[in-house]
Structure 1
Amino acid sequence: MLLLYLAFRGVDFNSLVEDLKRANYYWVLLSLFFAVVGYVSRAYRWKLLIEPLNYNPPVRNVFYALMVGYLANFDFPRIGEISRCGSLRKSDKIPMDSLIGTVIIERAIDMVVLLLLLFVIFIAKIESFGLFIKENVFIPISKKFINTVDFSIYYWLIIVVVLATLVFMFYYFRKRFKRVKIIIKIRKIIRGVISGVKTVTKMRNRSAFFFHTILIWAMYFLMTYVVIFAIPATQSLKPIDALFLLVIGGLGMAEPVQGGIGAFHWIVSLALSLYGISREDGLVFATIQHESQAILAILLGAFSVVMLFLYSRKKRKNNI
């Protein structure tokens, strides 16, 4: 909530509300349609990663679990990945650890795509986008890294000694550790996660996986592009500008806050300032895009919770 306050601090809310009322919501509805297509495609792609585990859950259950995850992200940052795995484990009896492995692969691939797009826009308009990304992405990340590693040599020495001691103890007592229940459980979980990660090498239909990856990101792009026509201040933006906003917004959503609230609004409004768009108009655009998608995710998530509950109850009755 702090980021939300900082993003909107000093803004005239009456003026903001009036601008929101004047927006053309036809484009917003079209954006929501693209979002639903993207969600369905993401469900199909996740199912392709699950199939090598010798499980074949219905696509609707995978979709419901995915939306439960999006809903959970509004409760606690990044908990959605665990929640969607837990939902699918409960509905289709797929091991949780293996599902987590598939999510790790899925997120890693999406991160690669995001970085590739970041590189593309960096090169496409290096004089404007490049400077913005350098000042607002690369420099802050490098500062965080420097602050993280900027310890005294004595602290590093202590860390190295502690790690070396732990490694030595584990190696020396490894036979005893193997019989400890919690170690057995941890080893089992790790093996399950690894088996989930390996599914990317065992997929039967890799072309479909890459097709859905492209489709997902195409829908993300269109979700952003059509919203620029919703308000007069952004209607002159071009497709490459929408791609820039997609990547910058993606970085905002990656921040460890509930549903990207505040972080998305701040960084997108800041990015729009490159085009001479005022902070207020930038926040109107960010609010329309973020809140429309948030409402859709919450509604679909709540619907999915109910549908998975009914599915599980029906399944229990059939097993009696």
Structure 2
Amino acid sequence: MKNFSSRLIRILLPLLLGAFILYWVYRDFDFERAFQVLRHGLRWDWMALSLFFGVWSHVERGLRWRQTLDPLGVYPRKSHLVDAIYLSYATSLVVPRLGEVSRCGVLSRYDGVPFSKSLGTVVTERMVDALCMLLIAGVTLLLELPVFLTFFHQTGTKVPSLVHLFSSPWFYVALFSVVGVVVVLVWMVRALSVFERVRGVVLDVWQGIMSLRRVRNVPLFVLHTVLMWLCYFLHFYLTFFCFPFTEGLSIEAGLVMFVAGTFAVIVPTPNGAGPWHFAVITMMMLYGVDAVDASTFALLVHGGQTLLVVVLGLWGWGHLAIGGRSGRTAA
């Protein structure tokens, strides 16, 4: 009963957190406006191009993952790697962060890859991605520093203004987001404590983490990383050209909103729902986009991206079910 309650909390808490933030952001929004734009004001050709790069970003992640698995002596099929990535993002819609575990389970089931070893490579991947994101954020911050300072000021994070901070509704949005992150971190620490009681698992995980040191083709690993992050950015930036009220925004503005949105999805809600909207809408308004238009953009773009995750997840599940255990592994 205790385990059931714990699992239920892990599922419901992110959903409630995302729902609360979405409600706060869209509490006065006229949804008929979004339907009108969807029917008559959206460029589907640009949206299709954006979705293409969304798909290709997952492919690049799968191909890069193979680079870290090779040193461990395991060689899953490339299609299984990509399908596992598709499923991991879809799984995270239900339970945020569970996708990283689910993709390791896919390789274990269909290719016989030891779960703990592949989990170690996922940890390595996330460390590399964190460094990439910090690098992108640093460059963007230097390029658009006045915009970030304005953002901090308008959202009540100016240090001397504590009274304004606690009276700002955005403070409570941020507070609930931080609480959600803390809960997930506590759960991860408890999960690791369980792993440590299983003989040999920690060693396998460590071998997976250290696989980065033995990547055979470092330039190819770097190329996959660069292409993956480029696809992530284009997946977002090209949506600017889908709407008449955002098509004039610069690539620098795209970088600012991309960085803000990427950090926002750290908050454990399904596909970043809520925090992502808040970050993108606020930043977009700083570039002169009307609040209603910015809210419409965030709602439709995030909806399209989430739908893509669902479709790819279904594709990955079906493809794996049909393909069966046809991968290969080496000792």
TM-score, normalised to structure 1, is 0.81
SS of the residue 1:228 aligns to: helix
The number of equivalent residue pairs is 278
Deviation sequence 1:131-180 (CA, Å, 0-9, x none): 4268769888xx97xx99xxxxxxxxxxxxxxxxxxxxxxxxxxxxxxxx
Shift of 1:255: 1.1
Alpha-carbon separation, structure 1, partners of 2:208 and 2:269? 27
Distance of 1:133 and 1:209 partners within structure 2: 36
Aligned partner of 1:2 in structure 2 is 20
RMSD over aligned CA atoms reads 2.3
Seen in structure 2, the aligned counterparts of structure 1 residues 187 and 310 have a Cα distance that, compared at 3 Å, is same
> Which residue of 2 is the match for residue 299 of structure 1?
311
Larger Rg: 1
CA separation of 1:307 and 1:14: change in aligned 2, threshold 3 A: same
In structure 1, the residue matched to 2:324 is 312
Q: Hey, what's the Cα distance between the residues in 2 that align with 1:104 and 1:214?
A: 18
Cα distance in 1 for residues equivalent to 2:54 and 2:107:
21
1:267-286, Cα deviation, whole Å (9 max, x unpaired):
11111110121222112211
Compute the displacement of 1:240 (Å). 1.0
Give the AA of the match of 2:148. Answer: F
Which residue matches 1:97? 116
CA distance in 2 between partners of 1:233 and 1:126 (Å): 24
- 5 Å matches for 1:124-273? 124-132=143-151, 185-273=197-285
Which residue of structure 2 aligns with residue 167 of structure 1?
A: none
Partner AA of 1:261 in structure 2: A
Greater Cα offset, 208-217 or 227-236: 227-236
The Cα shift of 1:288 comes to 2.7
**What are the residue-to-residue correspondences of 1:53-72 with 2, within 5 Å?**
53-72=72-91
**What is the letter of the counterpart of residue 87 of structure 1?**
V
Q: CA deviation at 1:66?
A: 0.7
Name the CA distance, whole Å, in 1 between partners of 2:298 and 2:196.
48
Which stretches of structure 1, 4 residues or longer, exceed 4 Å deviation after superposition? 133-140, 182-185
C-alpha separation in 1, matches of 2:147 and 2:128: 27
- SS of corresponding position for 1:94: coil
Q: Distance in 1 between matches of 2:84 and 2:209?
A: 19
Question: How many percent of aligned residue pairs carry the same amino acid?
Answer: 30
Structure 1 residues 204-228: Cα deviation after superposition (integer angstroms, max 9, x where no partner): 0111010011001111121122111
Give the distance between the partners of 2:138 and 2:154, measured in 1 at CA: 15
Residue 299 of structure 2 aligns with an amino acid whose one-letter code is T
**How far 1:300 sits from its partner (Å)?**
1.1
AA partner of residue 40 (structure 1): V
How far apart are residue 185 of structure 1 and its match?
A: 4.9
Q: 1:119 to 1:183 in 2, by over 3 A?
A: closer
Scaled by the length of structure 2, the TM-score of the pair is 0.78
The unaligned stretches of length 5 or more in structure 1 are 149-181, 316-320
How do 1:13-92 residues align onto structure 2 when only pairs under 5 Å count?
Answer: 13-21=31-39, 22-92=41-111
